[in-house]
Copies of this chain bind each other. A is one copy, B any other.
Amino acid sequence: MEPDRWLGLDLRHLIALKAIADEGSFGRAAGRLGYTQSAISQQIATLERVVGLRLIDRPGGPRPISLTEAGRILLRHVEAIEARLFAAKADMEALEAGDAGRLRVGTFQSVGARVLPTLLRRFGQEHPRVEVVLQEHAEEDELLELVERGALDLTFMTLPVERRPLEELELLRDPYVLVVPAGSPLAALKRPPTMKEIALQPLVGFNKCRAMDGVETQLASSGRAPNVVFRSDNNGTVQGLVGAGVGVSVAPLLTVDEDDESTVVIDLAGRVPARVIGLVWHRDRHRSPATEAFIATATTVCRELASTRVAA
């Protein structure tokens, strides 16, 4: 019932353990935390006294230290506790800043162009008092980082995401299509082109799109290494290059402007597994009514969008 002297221990002791594990030395850990080496040494000493087990192997001399079995196990708990503490801090700061106020949402290009306009308009009508602050970032990992740190309340993301303290919800599946210049022989085919036929073409690709990598490896594994002649991160640029006859492009449908006269969009008929777009948020953070509402609206908007696309 009473956790003995465990409650007497200080969070700093646990953080010290983590710092040591990260830095690999008492001294460097002390530097990072703004303490003296002596202080760290004593903190670990008391921590080990409380726990009753040796947590760190000190071989002595200038040899590097290492965590014991117990230390490694405890470290995982410490990391979880620290993460939860960050989440708490983020919640408190959000509560302090805007009461029912701001909702900070991360996005990336292809979502921004298609889904967001309708979603934001709808959400603005339904919840006029909530101010949505968007943050676009090319690196999806950066967005996850921000969510973990509590700098974002939600983010759009390509699923699945395997990071631990996150929860995800699938919104829609965005199939990959082949974009070719108007008049390309591939456009004249009655059937969807094979992977090998695509790999024979000069390709225009994206720089750093997580899902793109998967497509390229699949192309590569289909025999011949794909010949990527140009890369860009801008959807319009890629499509423009395709239209100019530089090459063809395998791209998520949402990133393609289907009204562009200079290009033709060819369905890949599921040859490439569709990109799954969803929302991701911090599992441990408080979900405000505004957050829940945003998730709900996003769900319905995307369901509508998916059904109209099927109809069209």
Contacts and interface: CB of A to CB of B under 8 A. Distances in A.
Contacts of A80: 84, 284
A271 B2 CA distance: 47
Given A77-B85, A77-B87, A84-B80, A51 B92 contact: yes
A78 B7 CA distance: 12
Interface stretch (A67-75, A125-133, A219-227): A67-75
A76 interface: yes
A57 to B, nearest CB: 15
A53 B81 CA distance: 21
B7 A53 contact: no
B76 A286 contact: yes
Interface in A154-203: none
Contacts of A8: 11-12
B81 A84 contact: yes
Contacts of A92: 51-53, 70, 73-74
A3 interface: yes
A122 to B, nearest CB: 27
